[in-house]
A and B are shown apart, each in its own frame.
Chain A
Amino acid sequence: MKNTISNEELAGLVEPARLHKRLYLDPDIFELEMERIWGQAWIFIGHESQVPATGDFFSTNITHKIPVVMIRDKEGQVHVLHNRCGHKGAKLVESRDGNVRGAFRCPYHGWSFRHDGTLLKIPNEKGYEGTGFDPSDSCNNMQPVAQVESYRGFVFATLSSTAPDLKTWLGGAVDCLDNLCDRAPEGEVEVAGGVLRYEHECNWKFILENLNDTMHPMVVHQSVVQAAEDYIASLPASAAKQRSEAEIIPPFGSSYEKFEDSGITGFPYGHHYDGGKTSIHADYTVLPAYHEAMVKAYGEERTREIYSFNTHNTLYYPSLTIKTAVQNIRVVRPIAVDRFVVETWSFRLKGAPEEMLQRTLLYSRLINSSAGMVGPDDLEVYRRAQEGLQSSASDWVEFHRQYGRDQQLPDRVIGGGTSDLDMRTQYKAWREYMTGEIAQ
């Protein structure tokens, strides 16, 4: 695409503790973000458990426009291919998921492709004889995405052939993916219970900023916290005790001190999490049957260690955010400068009682559903920012909270739980991706 904005100009839009409103409003910047951030970072595609059998596929977009398909071949290998026919470019699959029996078959001229994307057959092929066309040339295949790697079943792909390997890119933030999987007695998770898709009429970065913004929950979610607390308190004790909602909703109203204690940790490439020693998910009841299965699998000490690493939200910048203690994830899919979709997926902890999955689904429904009582209030404030930032009153948005107090360790930055460290972490990465400081 045409580069109308110089690197110098881009760098000037993000200062150490404030950023320019164009990041939310300018369609040209959005296009550059798709090319330089979403086109270079490792983007979460899906989980291997979504394609358990030969030919099973899941399709999505890796940037706002580029359609890809994740598919399992008969050797069990999972591929991420461009969802584009090697002939005229038509998408090979249209459904979000399904099974490709035998081979992909283009609905236009019937070209077929193996599950690994290689061209299998062209109808009436003799018309190509002597024309210089070489059907064995890989340019006629469904093209693989430049790099594809999986970590404990989580499949990431990048359009960049020079991006660092996935493990390097995940860095210390990998601890959270490990903790999510370790919470399964069998050490593995699988997608279960379907997906919620939630359309957001605002810039994609608002949700990333909100994840570890611990100064907002007690304000934005005050109404539902009060509604839940007041009403549940009025119920007979025996009835109130049985309500999982009583554990899930009220912690959103936790005090500034509680959030401060949870801490925030930032990493290279923009990843960050809040919590660790504690989080708003730390006081959930441990089901006896689950605890028993965990102790049987890991022993008492290791089980305690797994529980005790309790994070709230972990962002793998820019596409994936996970909740280890809840076992759900949200995936960000940008569409335009003022529109994106969030997908909420829930996970089953293999070897755990089914009640654990039911609690995860209850959480996803109460908190992350477009018809829930938490997500819509978050979206409302993002939209107000999207609209308010059009104002000519100021060009800048600040993030000074605890600026200058971030503690730089060899592989990470740590700070207080109500710090804007998460903002500084992700916008440092934004600047590096956008101006080419991260190797291309």
Chain B
Amino acid sequence: MLLDSKIPEGPLAEKWDKHKFNVKLVNPANKRKYDVIVVGTGLAGGAAAASLAELGYNVKAFTYHDSPRRAHSIAAQGGINAAKNYQNDGDSVFRLFYDTIKGGDYRAREANVYRLAQVSVNIIDQCVAQGVPFAREYGGLLANRSFGGAQVSRTFYARGQTGQQLLLGAYSALSRQIAYGKVKMYTRSEMLDVVIVDGQARGIVTRNLVNGEIETHAAHAVVLATGGYGNVFYLSTNAKYCNVTAAWRAHKKGAFFANPCFTQIHPTCIPVSGDYQSKLTLMSESLRNDGRVWVPKTVEMAERVRKGQIKPQDIAEDDRDYFLERKYPAFGNLVPRDVASRNAKMMCDENRGVGSTGLAVYLDFSDIIKRTGAEAVSQKYGNLFDMYAKITDENPYEMPMRIYPAVHYTMGGLWVDYNLQTTVPGLYATGECNFSDHGANRLGASALMQGLADGYFVIPYTIGDYLANTPPKPVDTNHPAFAESKAYVQARTEQLLGIKGNRTPDEFHKALGHIMWEYCGMARTAEGLKHAKAEIQRLRKEFWSDVKVVGTGEEMNQALEKAGRVADFLELGELMVDDAYNRNESCGGHFREEYQTPEGEALRDDENYAYVAAWEYQGDNQPEKLNKEELVFENVKLTQRSYK
């Protein structure tokens, strides 16, 4: 299949405006004749559902949470980027575009990223108007801070809870439309299939998580805003419910899956403390503004720290290696996430890691505390320091934090064109569940930006273009395709309940996570990936003969929910490994050990791999087909990323 990205003609800066003029419109009186399903109510989904309802469409919104306010967007800490240039420090739409393309190691689509940078300024205005309490200066104007991968201060924030405040803004807009009756909200409903009628997405199948009922819902178009798949690693900074199921079912119904191996490992997370660990907690990247990352200079010294013979505070300045400042003097502790993560791993590989496991580096605030006082530091990062103290039982005001990289975000996702439409007509993907804007590495404070850009400012235009070409006839669930999808979902539920094996869904999930982290994590090799593929296939076989779920499908059954999600992760995991194996280069978060510069930096192969790998499902147990979208760079010059 030929992948048409539908990038509009014309100069970069004019594409979006021209496109907005060229897309077809649905007249105001006709909008109420169209139904749109939005799955997921995080930043992308909540913003899309509210905005589409405001335009007049009938929206049905779905979330597996008990309330649309709980989506994992809420946990984003640091901030949201926007090219406002309020700081007069040289920011512009082009610079945000450029930083994002470069930060993504030249594996993102220029036109999408430019549009993202353009609408970033509207997002801030919209959120302020909603009453989002952004941080402000004493003069009453909005405050900014800097973030990794950029040399300007363009990040807007609400203390360490930016995601929460932005999500509550979108939630309030959504709540208003629910009250007006323009959005019908379905909570505790998990999407388990997309229904395709005559080649077009026309509805979904859901399971009511309270009573187990399998329901069908019809619409003229379906928007997925179902987040990322980082939980394929079991341990990640994602919330426990985050999963790939909705996106994966869409994939099996014809939506291509792009760059699945592009996962982001976040450098500053609280290290694993035991086998019981259920998730990892992020310490916001904003901490790298003031915290200094270091390990002991020598292995001997590190050894003594690990054994608890000396405390980090007692190590003399001369015996510390501030490795990011040493290797990257220009960006220092603010290098992009992939670079910071990889360097932390290198230090631990050199046996200079700290903590009882040796899998940690220090993030030290003693300088800034000395300079500005503990009170000022608490003003900026208080809630993060408290969270750290609660989890580790250590006081970060007195001793440096221990941090280690952890899986955080997935740049890969459903392939979409410029209109955010997948390869299935009428099926759209927004926010983290699509692949479009971050290339091989996402910059900090850009996930919130993309989710809200897609939801508030892109999908309301582009979906109209599709609907204008769709007759406004009422849709219903009588078509046999709905019954077929429902039967498939029911059969799968019965199958999971019927195995009655010996191992729990969590045990399988942990085993999968271990394989993925070991072989498809921060560093990958062809040999390791081959091994991982065989291991995952073996594990999947075992899953379908030995998973244990009790109870029935007609009740609240959280083990059954987990089993279904793990089953999909087992299939996705194999595709990620295939994708990583196929990409014989290193770029961004994808680091193949075979391909590195003499200094150990990622070595891209632009001649052969400047493309999006879009995988096409071919049926159960069949190898997927690779389709390529060539990436054309007309406005930036591809260079080896340098943060030195």
Verify that A and B bind, or say they do not.
no
Write the residues of chain B forming the contact surface with A, with a CB cutoff of 8 angstroms: none
